[in-house]
Amino acid sequence: MISEEVLKGMFQPRTTPWRTSITKVEPNRLVTQGYPQEELIGNISFPEMIHLLIKGVLPTKNQEKMLQAILVSFCDHGVTPPSTQSARLMASAGSSVNACLAGGILAFGENHAGAIELSMKMLQEGIILSKDNGLSLDETAQQLLDYFTNNGRKIPGFGHRYHDQDPRAPRLIELSREYDCFNEHTELAMELQGLLQERKGINMNIDGANAALLSDMGFNWRVGCGLFIVGRVPGLLAHVQEEKTREQPFRKLLNVDEMSPGNDLVNSF
Amino acid sequence: MISEEVLKGMFQPRTTPWRTSITKVEPNRLVTQGYPQEELIGNISFPEMIHLLIKGVLPTKNQEKMLQAILVSFCDHGVTPPSTQSARLMASAGSSVNACLAGGILAFGENHAGAIELSMKMLQEGIILSKDNGLSLDETAQQLLDYFTNNGRKIPGFGHRYHDQDPRAPRLIELSREYDCFNEHTELAMELQGLLQERKGINMNIDGANAALLSDMGFNWRVGCGLFIVGRVPGLLAHVQEEKTREQPFRKLLNVDEMSPGNDLVNSF
Amino acid sequence: MISEEVLKGMFQPRTTPWRTSITKVEPNRLVTQGYPQEELIGNISFPEMIHLLIKGVLPTKNQEKMLQAILVSFCDHGVTPPSTQSARLMASAGSSVNACLAGGILAFGENHAGAIELSMKMLQEGIILSKDNGLSLDETAQQLLDYFTNNGRKIPGFGHRYHDQDPRAPRLIELSREYDCFNEHTELAMELQGLLQERKGINMNIDGANAALLSDMGFNWRVGCGLFIVGRVPGLLAHVQEEKTREQPFRKLLNVDEMSPGNDLVNSF
Amino acid sequence: MISEEVLKGMFQPRTTPWRTSITKVEPNRLVTQGYPQEELIGNISFPEMIHLLIKGVLPTKNQEKMLQAILVSFCDHGVTPPSTQSARLMASAGSSVNACLAGGILAFGENHAGAIELSMKMLQEGIILSKDNGLSLDETAQQLLDYFTNNGRKIPGFGHRYHDQDPRAPRLIELSREYDCFNEHTELAMELQGLLQERKGINMNIDGANAALLSDMGFNWRVGCGLFIVGRVPGLLAHVQEEKTREQPFRKLLNVDEMSPGNDLVNSF
């Protein structure tokens, strides 16, 4: 039985003590992760800010360089990804820029950007498995490969439908050695690549390389897709802009006959 | 200068007296537009509920029949609309059902579902113009047509890129006479059609017919796209479901080669 | 090694044989699930159309009535749900109607509309369990309850944070008997309610009732959230409309001080 | 009359010659704006890549620094913006990370991120006005101010509901002088600030400063909101992550009573 007092409490407007530890907002003062924003602006790079927001601390100089390279590598893959196609479809339908970007992001489903998180999860769990059981990284790679193969699943982060050698992956690995960011997760990924090359002629792709490097930088696998989005939004924006300014909209190329019996500016479905 | 007291007030958690006149929520009691929900359930139809929510009152029996027909007419147009293509792209990328539906809705831009609102606005302003200036409806139609033509714009709600006679429009008009819902806005739309048929062989399309009928039912033009969405969401859901259960995903048909060099379950971009 | 021919094939524009069995589109002819649309318009109700789109066949008269009641029951729950709050936040930020509706739908996450699908899944798997193991429905209910309790999970579809007796649930059950739509899934749900009332004083909520009834009507649990969205979009539209026309925007109530030092029409963050 | 041949053509699957000048995709080769991606990775910064994608060319060293600072300045404003609130609501409802980010972006409506585009448009049109009519920048500022005031509109980019001196704006202006990026649009914005300080004690806010600087860097006003989103997505991701890992979800703080009569893990609406 609910008392009258409780009832009143339940449906009264209530105080909302919103709390966040990310940014403290006061009049004329904004403090993010402990730093006044006017001190961050002009003193740190955008990737340093991204690291600060997500990890709570500033990266080392080498980590910053690595993150810079990772974010650049996410930039664009032409009109082949469903996210780009969705954003362009919406742009050609006349939706606003923010709606087009949101729409593109909604297409980062399990089969699209999902691979990077799956790959991070596999590598992070692989390292735990290796430590807990005293396995070497090549033994761990072998076990992961067996597990996925026995369950009829592909190894996330390896193989690509357009590229048999994704040009971005080896470049990222090379840089990770230069920036001293090559550690156990990337080593495990290299072991996996070795086995997969031998057995199936398959190489690491961009997702696998970034999954390994982000894991070595200490990012939790649950932010993998989010970081991919951070890196890909500028590319989506470029596509939306291109679509909105071109004469022949993308959509027309997709599904329209040349010979329209009537109204062709305002379409009806 | 802000006093300390004001400062405190500005950044304290504050009470949020959310108010809505749509539904009153109390423990064990939900009252929508004045009616307890348990009395509405089983006693009114879904279109009656839609009318009640948007207009604040229940429709007459004839208005209910008209709205029923309008909502049915919005149902689906195969895979040609950008909204359906977007929703299917997302479904094939592995996004969740609600993300796919949201994505489809984001493609209802100006050039897609925009036509129904533009058409409603044109007809509603046309009727005001007619009354304010003592113009007959055929004079009004003539003025509207001149205005759009002189500004290089197509008349929203007329002509269709697939159909020279959209089969849904005349059926809706026929029903509006039967249900006694044919009034001034629809009459104005018929005048426009008469002029456009004569000049360009163009007929009213689904958007034009529904724009006229919804206007005659007293709906503000600003809810036109929203009502289209209400009627189209079930169709989008059917497409998402079909996409998620088919062997050959829509996306593969869009952009994938048959011969994938490696991994084909988890794709990378 | 990829041959030159394959390479060419991979990057050429390719034919897109889009197929759907939902609607066949031909000039001046639209055939949905086998019926010409102009014959459906005016002859079937909106819920019949929804059934036809999702299930592929028209419902019986009683099923139509049941679906009518279910869709009405989804209508609105005031400003308490995160979906409504999100849609209103966006409306007050000046986003377009379709963006607001899409945003509302994106808030139907696991903890919100997820319950209806979980409940449908539980009941549908419960019935299979019962048949496969020759269990009575009260034995099945007992097993389900033990399973959820032992795993520290709440039973989806039972209990409500605002209502100890959700007024919509018993009304829907009552109607299901009247419409001859009360079958094994609903019976199992009633058994669960019996056990939960006894043990914890918890009753079936709207999600539990609709999960049971939709399961008895043969809907796959994977469309549960989608059907909830179909029923809730009109309510979201009503809230967006209310928000866009009110003087005091919802957002202001949420987070704004009365005493704005300067510009208050165009806000900055 | 449509001939049979045309009919066939209209409804046959058709070739989709997708074209983009942003990235050329070939097997094992990705060329963005003329540069192979493996050469960009490790050699340019993320802001340089953003500039390359949107403007088609690499920025100068000073422009890169300016863009770096601008992107950092967009980072976060705590839980006050509707975009952050929406993203957190969705996170607490259990939506996926990409759905939460998309939802946040959908709240960048006219009244929220709209200010930056309006401000860019005003400044860019102001400079054209100034040149076309041989007006000095202070005369132009005067005319703009009169225009907005006479139309009952606030000047976009000036004044802030939390800050009477937005700490980010003067810092950005200071840097623009250091990086030699202070040009006519920023000068015009300073003139406007002078007039507004005098008349109403209002200062430039973050939107005004970035609008001026992005205009001086040659960005079209139509990408203003898009660039704000690029800079804000990392902050949204941080909030989503915080929300998903906190014990007490944001949503609960918004609308839930402490005393829930039953089920509190799975909620029902």
Q: Please tell me the distance from the alpha carbon of residue B77 to that of residue B238, in angstroms, as a whole number.
A: 12
The distance of B249 to chain A (nearest Cα, Å) reads 11
The distance of B230 to chain A (nearest Cα, Å) reads 15
Is there a contact between B216 and B123 (Cβ–Cβ < 8 Å)?
no
Is there a contact between A241 and D223 (Cβ–Cβ < 8 Å)?
yes
Q: Please tell me the distance from the alpha carbon of residue A230 to that of residue C6, in angstroms, as a whole number.
A: 34
Q: Please tell me the distance from the alpha carbon of residue D104 to that of residue D114, in angstroms, as a whole number.
A: 14
Q: Please tell me the distance from the alpha carbon of residue A103 to that of residue A88, in angstroms, as a whole number.
A: 9
Q: Please tell me the distance from the alpha carbon of residue D41 to that of residue D30, in angstroms, as a whole number.
A: 12
Q: What is the DSSP string of chain B?
A: ---HHHHHHHHS--B-----SSEEEETTEEEETTEEHHHHTTTS-HHHHHHHHHHSSPPPHHHHHHHHHHHHHTS-BTB-SHHHHHHHHHHHTT--HHHHHHHHHHT--TTTTHHHHHHHHHHHHHHHHHHHTT--HHHHHHHHHHHHHHTT-PPTTB--SS-SS-THHHHHHHHHHHTT---HHHHHHHHHHHHHHHHH---B-HHHHHHHHHHHTT--GGGHHHHHHHHHHHHHHHHHHHHHH-SS-HHHHHH--S--SS--SS---
Percent of chain D with pLDDT over 70: 85
Provide the 8-state DSSP code for D61: H
Mean pLDDT by runs of 10 across the 269 residues of chain C is 44 50 93 97 98 98 98 95 92 92 92 87 96 96 93 90 89 98 98 95 96 98 96 98 74 31 32
User: From chain A, which residues contact C within 8 Å (Cβ)?
Assistant: 2, 10, 16, 95-96, 98-99, 102, 106, 162, 164, 254
- Output the CA–CA distances (angstroms, integers) from residue D159 to C256, C260, D153, D167, in the order listed: 14, 9, 13, 12
Is there a contact between D15 and C14 (Cβ–Cβ < 8 Å)?
yes
Q: Please tell me the distance from the alpha carbon of residue B12 to that of residue B10, in angstroms, as a whole number.
A: 6
Q: Please tell me the distance from the alpha carbon of residue B190 to that of residue B172, in angstroms, as a whole number.
A: 12
Q: Given a cut of 60, is residue B11 above it in pLDDT?
A: no
The distance of C164 to chain A (nearest Cα, Å) reads 9
Percent of chain B with pLDDT over 70: 85
Nearest to B48 by CA among B62, B31, B64: B64
Nearest to B193 by CA among B150, B147, B137, B152: B137
For helices D61-73 and D168-178, the axis angle rounded to 10 degrees is 180
Average the pLDDT over D189-218 and give the result. 96
- pLDDT category at B195 given cuts 50, 70, 90 is very high
Mean pLDDT of chain B: 86
Do D27 and C7 lie within an 8 Å CB cutoff? yes
pLDDT at A3: 46
Residue given tokens 């419409």 in the structure block: C179
Of A134-143, B253-262, D17-26, D154-163, the one with minimum mean pLDDT is: B253-262
Mutate to test the interface with D, among B28, B96, B248 (most CBs of D within 10 A): B96
Q: Given a cut of 60, is residue B244 above it in pLDDT?
A: yes
Of these ranges, A151-160, C243-252, D17-26, D215-224, the one predicted with the greatest mean pLDDT is: D215-224
Which chain A residue shows the shortest CA-CA distance from C1?
Answer: A164
For helices D97-106 and B97-106, the axis angle rounded to 10 degrees is 30
Q: Please tell me the distance from the alpha carbon of residue A242 to that of residue D55, in angstroms, as a whole number.
A: 11
Do D162 and B2 lie within an 8 Å CB cutoff? no
Q: Given a cut of 90, is residue B255 above it in pLDDT?
A: no
User: From chain C, which residues contact A within 8 Å (Cβ)?
Assistant: 2, 10, 16, 95-96, 98-99, 102, 106, 162, 164, 254
pLDDT at B13: 37
Do A76 and D32 lie within an 8 Å CB cutoff? yes
pLDDT at B248: 53
Percent of chain B with pLDDT over 90: 74
Work out the angle at residue A252's Cα, subtended by the Cα atoms of residues A248 and A257, and round it to the nearest 5 degrees. Answer: 120
pLDDT 10s digits, A78-107? 998 999 999 999 998 889 999 999 999 999
Mutate to test the interface with B, among C40, C233, C247 (most CBs of B within 10 A): C233
Sheet of strand D23-26: strand arrangement: D23-26, D29-32, D35-36
Q: Please tell me the distance from the alpha carbon of residue A207 to that of residue A209, in angstroms, as a whole number.
A: 6
Query: What tokens does A133 get?
Result: 């059981």
Average the pLDDT over B113-133 and give the result. 93
Is there a contact between D29 and A167 (Cβ–Cβ < 8 Å)?
yes
pLDDT at A163: 84
Average the pLDDT over B121-137 and give the result. 96
Is there a contact between A79 and A188 (Cβ–Cβ < 8 Å)?
no
Query: What tokens does A269 get?
Result: 């479905």
pLDDT at C37: 97
- Closest by Cβ to B242, choosing from C17, C22, C244: C22
Q: Please tell me the distance from the alpha carbon of residue B109 to that of residue B112, in angstroms, as a whole number.
A: 5
Chains in contact with D, where contact means 3 or more Cβ–Cβ distances below 8 Å, are A, B, C
Q: Which residues, 6+ apart, have CB-to-CB distance to A103 below 8 Å?
A: A86, A87, A89, A90, A95, B86, B103, B106, B107, D102
> Mapping DSSP to helix (H, G, I), strand (E, B) and coil, where does residue C158 land?
strand
pLDDT 10s digits, A20-56? 999 999 999 999 999 999 999 999 999 999 999 999 9
The distance of A60 to chain B (nearest Cα, Å) reads 29
Q: Is C28 left (phi over 0), alpha (psi -120 to 50) or beta?
A: left
Q: How far is CA C14 from the centre of its chain?
A: 37
Q: Please tell me the distance from the alpha carbon of residue A151 to that of residue D141, in angstroms, as a whole number.
A: 68
Of C210-219, C260-269, D71-80, D192-201, the one with minimum mean pLDDT is: C260-269
Nearest to A47 by CA among A62, A36, A26, A33: A62
Cβ neighbour number for residue A263 with a 10 Å cutoff: 23
Amino acid (one-letter) located at D251: R
Do D2 and B164 lie within an 8 Å CB cutoff? yes
- Closest by Cβ to A262, choosing from B110, B160, B256: B160
pLDDT at A228: 97
Q: Given a cut of 60, is residue D130 above it in pLDDT?
A: yes
Residue given tokens 């109700």 in the structure block: C45
CB burial string D224-262: b at 16+ within 10 A, e below: bbbbbbbbbbbbbbbbbbbbbebeebbbbbbbbbeebbb
pLDDT at A112: 73
Q: Given a cut of 60, is residue D262 above it in pLDDT?
A: no
Q: Please tell me the distance from the alpha carbon of residue D253 to that of residue C86, in angstroms, as a whole number.
A: 15
pLDDT 10s digits, B13-31? 333 445 799 999 999 999 9
> Mapping DSSP to helix (H, G, I), strand (E, B) and coil, where does residue D53 land?
helix
- Closest by Cβ to C10, choosing from A99, A162, A254: A162
Which chain C residue shows the shortest CA-CA distance from D268?
Answer: C160
The distance of C99 to chain A (nearest Cα, Å) reads 6
Which chain D residue shows the shortest CA-CA distance from A258?
Answer: D10
Cβ neighbour number for residue B89 with a 10 Å cutoff: 32
pLDDT at D247: 59
Provide the 8-state DSSP code for D88: H
Tell me the backbone φ, ψ of residue D253, rounded to 5 degrees: -65, -30
CB burial string C188-218: b at 16+ within 10 A, e below: bbbbbbebbeeeeebbbbbbbbbbbbbbbbe
Is there a contact between B121 and B220 (Cβ–Cβ < 8 Å)?
no
Q: How far apart are the first and last CA of chain B?
A: 54
Q: Given a cut of 80, is residue B86 above it in pLDDT?
A: yes
pLDDT at C15: 35
pLDDT at C25: 92
Query: What tokens does C45 get?
Result: 């109700």
Residue given tokens 């006693």 in the structure block: B43
Residues (pLDDT < 70) of chain A are: 1-18, 247-269
Q: Which residue has the higher pLDDT, D231 or D109?
A: D231
Average the pLDDT over B215-239 and give the result. 97
